[in-house]
Each structure stands twice: as C-alpha cells, then as structure tokens.
C-alpha cells in the first residue's frame, strides 16, 4: 500500500518572464515504511518538494495524497490538525525550544495538540536515542548530535505515518551523521514509518531504500539501493 502519492505536482513562483518553475509535473509514490532519499544540487527544487509534501506550501497544480487523503482539498484548520498528527518534521537547524529540556521538547507537539504523551513510548524513544541521562538538560547543554536526536524524538513521538527530514545531518560530523541515519532507518523499519530525506550527500543517500534525484524541478527515480 502506498502511503504517499504525488500526482502531477508543479510549483511556479512569479509570472511572465520572471517566473521560476521550481517543480515540474512531479509524479511518484512511496509505499508505507519505505526510506527515500532525495538528492540534487542547491536550488534544484528539493526543498520546494518537501514543502509540498508537508503542506507547508501549496502547489500551482497537482495533488498530494497521504494515506489516501487529498491534503490540499482540506480546509486550513483541518490541514493544520492533519499535519500535526500525521507528519513529523526534522530540520537541519534542530529548531528546539531553548527554554524546554530534552523531555519537554520531545513532548511539545503532543501537548500542543492537547493530547496526553504516551509515557511508555517516550521512555522507549529516550532509550533508543540514548538520551535518558540527558532528559532534563536544556538544548544549550547538548552537543549538535544530541540536539538532532531530540529533534528526531520529537518527530517520532506523535507516531506520524510520514517523516520529512530536511538535511538532518547537515550540521553534524561524520560519526553523528552515521548515528542519525541509523536512527532514521530503525524508525522506518521498527515503526513502519515512511521517511523522505533531503540530502546533498550521495553516500548518505545510498543508505536509503530508494533515491530520487531532483534537477531543475524535474524528479527522476534512480531506483532502489542495493542492500
């Protein structure tokens, strides 16, 4: 079963001679639980694609289906709730709240949705992410790798069906990068979560199940990686 369906999605900024065609007729699908890497040069359209998939921007044309739901047919209030409950975001810049400790940062999206955190799952994540001893630390007291693990925990706690990761290893050294990728792969397999990861690092991309290339707004499926 496909968790994600992208059908003829295009995005154009501006009009006339100054129009920028950031995404051109993107069409692809991703089965549930697949880990997909998206590669391409700077300005190729990778971030535009991620914004469309996360409903952070609206396409000029085309449709995006997540778990069978046409996300851009929803009212803004419905889409906000759907996004909060079904899509997890991991950013290069971590985007942690400085005043909150590790545990509070991870729980924040759930509390924002007026839900009760799954304490058992929280403990499991803290253990998997090797953050149990740091649970009461503030972001300023953590290394870059630890902060990114907190961001991953925050994305996972809501049990989202889709996780969108934008250059999650961009600010990390090689060892921490490897650990972050391993955690994402484990989440994909253990929790059957679909992951779309943007990366400029092609060696990291090869660790994914499948690779998509974006060039001048055009998406090419490079196929599955070898195990």
The string of pLDDT tens digits covering residues 164-206 is 999 888 877 888 888 888 888 887 888 888 999 999 888 889 9
Please say whether the beta carbons of 225 and 210 come within 8 A.
Answer: yes
Nearest by Cα to 163 from 34, 59, 5, 7? 34
Confidence at 159, pLDDT banded by 50, 70, 90: confident
> Two tokens at 106?
């991870």
Phi, psi torsion values for 196, nearest 5 degrees: -115, 120
Please say whether the beta carbons of 146 and 154 come within 8 A.
Answer: no
H helices within the chain, ranges in order?
Answer: 46-53, 76-86, 102-112, 119-128, 144-156, 174-190, 202-205
d(CA 211, CA 222): 5
The string of pLDDT tens digits covering residues 83-122 is 988 999 998 788 899 999 999 999 998 888 888 888 998 9
Does the structure show a pLDDT above 60 at 163? yes
Q: Which domains does the chain have, with CATH numbers?
A: 31-60+71-224 (3.40.50.300)
Name the pTM for this structure.
Answer: 0.87
Share of the chain above pLDDT 70, in %: 98
């Amino acid at each position: 079963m496909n968790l994600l369906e992208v059908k003829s999605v295009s995005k154009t900024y501006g009009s006339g001679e100054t129009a920028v065609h950031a995404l051109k007729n993107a069409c692809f699908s991703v089965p549930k639980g697949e880990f997909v890497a998206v590669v391409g040069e700077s300005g190729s359209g990778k971030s535009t694609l991620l914004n469309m998939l996360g409903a952070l921007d609206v396409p000029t044309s085309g449709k995006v289906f997540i778990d069978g739901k046409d996300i851009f047919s929803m009212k803004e209030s419905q889409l906000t709730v759907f996004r909060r409950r079904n899509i997890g975001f991991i950013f290069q810049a971590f985007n942690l709240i400085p005043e909150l400790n590790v545990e509070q940062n991870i729980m924040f999206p759930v509390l924002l949705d007026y839900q009760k955190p799954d304490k058992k799952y929280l403990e499991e994540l803290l253990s998997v992410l090797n953050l149990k001893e740091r649970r009461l630390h503030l972001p300023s007291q953590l290394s870059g790798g630890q902060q990114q693990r907190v961001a991953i925990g925050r994305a996972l706690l809501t049990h989202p069906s889709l996780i969108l990761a934008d250059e999650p290893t961009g600010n990390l050294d090689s060892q921490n990068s490897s650990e972050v990728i391993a955690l994402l792969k484990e989440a994909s397999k253990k929790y059957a979560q679909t992951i779309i990861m943007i990366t400029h690092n092609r060696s990291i991309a090869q660790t994914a199940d499948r690779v998509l290339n974006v060039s001048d707004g055009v998406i090419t499926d490079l196929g599955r990686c070898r195990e």
